[in-house]
Chain A
Amino acid sequence: MPETILKPEELQPVTELARKTLGQLDRILLGRKELHRLVLIGILSRGHILLEGLPGLGKTALVRTIGQILKLDFKRIQFTPDLMPGDVLGSHILQETTSGKRELVFQPGPVFTNILLADEINRASPKTQSAMLETMQEHSVTLLGTTRDLPEPFFVLASQNPIELEGTYPLPEAQLDRFLFRVMFDNVDVDVLNQIISERRRGELPPPTWQMERADLQTLFQTMGKIYLPGPVSHYIARVVSATHPGAVEATGPVNSYVSYGASPRAAIAIAEAARANALVAGRPSVGFEDVKIVASPVLNHRLILNYQARFDRMTPSKLVSELLNQLDETGLNLPKDVELAHA
């Protein structure tokens, strides 16, 4: 717990940086303000983001633009079924040194960057997907007994096609859990499409008019550490995550019916961090219940493992989380059923 809470004059410039970033994203990529906000929150939380949507919806453009705005190294890997772990992590190459000896020299893979776009990640084989586990969690790569740290900050922004498509491998749960958010790319509406047609000829994106300096990004990360998470909110996050497990005390009926396995403690940490980031973007020094509600769904929707009954009943994790948030009393005030609390 921070000893002192941020003062308005401390927080305001940092919030301004976040808002400028959002402004640039919204200007360059049309019609996805909420999604941009979530992606920024994910980056501020130093989490990896899984972007899910059909081809052509702007996933790659989003990642590329973020890299430009944040002035971070950006690399892209197009995942294919024959992609090998070495193609991602790097490999040792036998080279002749100046002294005439031959030695194995490590050739870093594309993962050694700040922002890695793992495009169509679910087209790679599980073996290759698993190669990403250490990089995502530890921010390091271990090959032949040598561990090499990745540059900081390190984000994986992966895109995946819906798993129903041909030639896809579902991501293992262990890897899914390492993504902070899973963000769904929906189709944009007609007005936005019209604007895209008229303003983005040949799909060329306008360059950013403002870029964040590395120091500013560092300031953002430092400020994130000072956002205060009150005890009741922390308790609420714990209750929400706990309630995703079937059979838990506060588990709802749908959770008991459709969920095989609930969210991990990593999800609770992710919600807390994302809620902090949301508060920062909103210009507040502390986290409120509304921050938790905003980030809970993207954090949890890829962490709940549903049973077959859920498929039959067309129940989605997002619906489950939404119902759970609606039914769970945030404050634990435990009012009698016939007493309601309303805004004055």
Chain B
Amino acid sequence: MNRSHASALQSFARNLQWLLTLRLAVQLATVWFFAWGVVILALRIFGIQNIYWLTMGLLAVAPLAFIASWRAKKQRAPLTKIRASYDRINACGGIVMSAETHDVAAWMAQLPGVATPKLQWRSGRALLLLSASAVFVMITLLLPNRLTHFPGRRPLEIGQIVQQLQAEVKVLAQEKIVDAQKAAELQKQLSQVQNDSLGYDPAKTWEALDHIKQSDSDEARQAAQEALDKTTSLTDAESLAKAMEQAADSGMNATTASQAAQDLASMLSAAKLDNGLLNVQIPPALLAGLNGLNKEQMEKLLQGLESNKGLLSMDISNLANLKMIDAATLAKLQAAGTCDNPDALADYLSSCTNGCDAALCTHPGKGGPGRGGPGAPMTWSTGASEKDLKFQEHSLPPSPNLSQAQLMGVSKAVPELSGNEVSAEHGALNNTAAGGGAANARVILPEQRQAVQTYFKRDN
């Protein structure tokens, strides 16, 4: 056969082999990319996030090319058929086919010109699928870690809550509200909860977090209550001590001084300052010799009381910063034990000769009979005779607007009364239970309750 036709035939066979190889390679690569993508996705879902190892799948392309070449060789028709195809495409009338078994050199001149048949592969769909599979692999590799978890295995987004609780535990430990061991245990529990949190079972996690938060809140509330009690006691004691100091200068007699000192001692003792969550320490030497403290010792006692109040206030401020106690409790704490008129108490102590009540400042209430109504400052003196006196009639000030009221809590029940229930016996509120709203449509707010209770209690 003519050399040029022979080479064209070889070229045709080679092109066919290459095309089949390429086509098979594309098909195999497409299948491999999809499979590999699925494997990557599965591995990432089950926790293997090392992209470096996952990209090793690219190395499979080399064996795939080899397999494609091998399969293409198997798939390719034998040379006899390729020769026949060449003959048909070039309209050689069987002469090229005959060349396989016969010498047709004499006929070569009569054959049409040499032309290697063209092979056309409609590759659009195959290449599209290959691109899609490659994109799929890229996506599976570049997918953010948070999206490669099953919803059930995905941890809850509780980082901020855990941080908040950890900060609370830290503050509680710093303030020694909880001991170091319990704090460490709580911290460990929080870490454990964060690690074990699962999206498909959030209830367990929320339950644990609620439990820890409740525990923190309970501790904080208990500490706040304790701080409130102790601050009240310290303030009362401070007021009395100041009054005693002033009264001593004004010539308080010894009996009164002794009684006041006893009252002060019993006040500090009843406060149990060194017990509970927030311990307060008054120098024992001062406490032992309260009866007969000189001015300098009294100053030291006052300083001690003041500094302890400051410490308590600072502790509570730390808790308030983390919102572990509410604003109302904080406000109560700041107003705890304020004595309205310490100078009057000092005057009282100076003038009192027998049977003085040094703890008057601890009694709640304002004003007194004929002293200008509830707004008048508290005075202490020997009891005025109430004979032939009658209360000046005043109408109660209008209730503040509810919208300006401070929300203490929401309850469907009637506001509870601590201690003995008090029923009004005079005026418009006669025989009405507090909060019942039987006679007056106005709602008595919790902050008003104390004043109303005290007002009517005095008559008793």
Contact = CB atoms under 8 A, between A and B. Distances in A.
A343 B100 CA distance: 22
A5 B95 CA distance: 10
* Chain B interface extent, by class: 35 or more
A333 B118 contact: no
Contact of A288 (B82, B91, B110, B123): B91
Nearest to A343: B89
B120 A342 contact: yes
Mostly helix, strand, loop or mixed at chain A's interface?
A: loop
* Chain A interface extent, by class: 20 to 34
A333 to B, nearest CB: 5
Interface string A100-131: 00000000000000000000000000000000
Interface string B76-120: 010011111101111111110110111110110010000111111
B23 interface: yes
Given A340-B122, A343-B117, A230 B88 contact: no
A23 to B, nearest CB: 21
Nearest to A292: B94
B88 A5 contact: no
Contact of B98 (A228, A330, A331): A228
A5 B118 contact: no
Nearest to B97: A230
A231 B120 CA distance: 27
Contacts of A8: 106-107, 110
B313 to A, nearest CB: 85
B282 interface: no
Interface string A272-307: 000000010010111111110000000000000000
Nearest to A344: B115
Contacts of A291: 93-94
A127 to B, nearest CB: 44
Interface string B283-308: 00000000000000000000000000
Contact of B80 (A232, A284, A285, A343): A232
A232 B120 CA distance: 23
- Among B82, B98, B101, B106, the one with the most A-chain Cβ atoms within 10 Å of its Cβ is B98
B52 interface: no
B125 interface: yes
B126 interface: yes
B64 interface: no
Given A4-B102, A8-B106, A332-B81, A286 B121 contact: no
30 contacts: A4-B102, A5-B98, A8-B106, A8-B110, A228-B98, A228-B102, A230-B87, A230-B97, A230-B100, A232-B97, A284-B94, A286-B98, A287-B93, A288-B92, A289-B88, A290-B93, A291-B94, A330-B85, A330-B88, A332-B81, A334-B77, A338-B122, A339-B20, A339-B120, A339-B121, A340-B121, A341-B117, A342-B89, A343-B115, A344-B117
Interface of B: 19-20, 23, 77, 80-85, 87-95, 97-98, 100-104, 106-107, 110, 115-123, 125-126
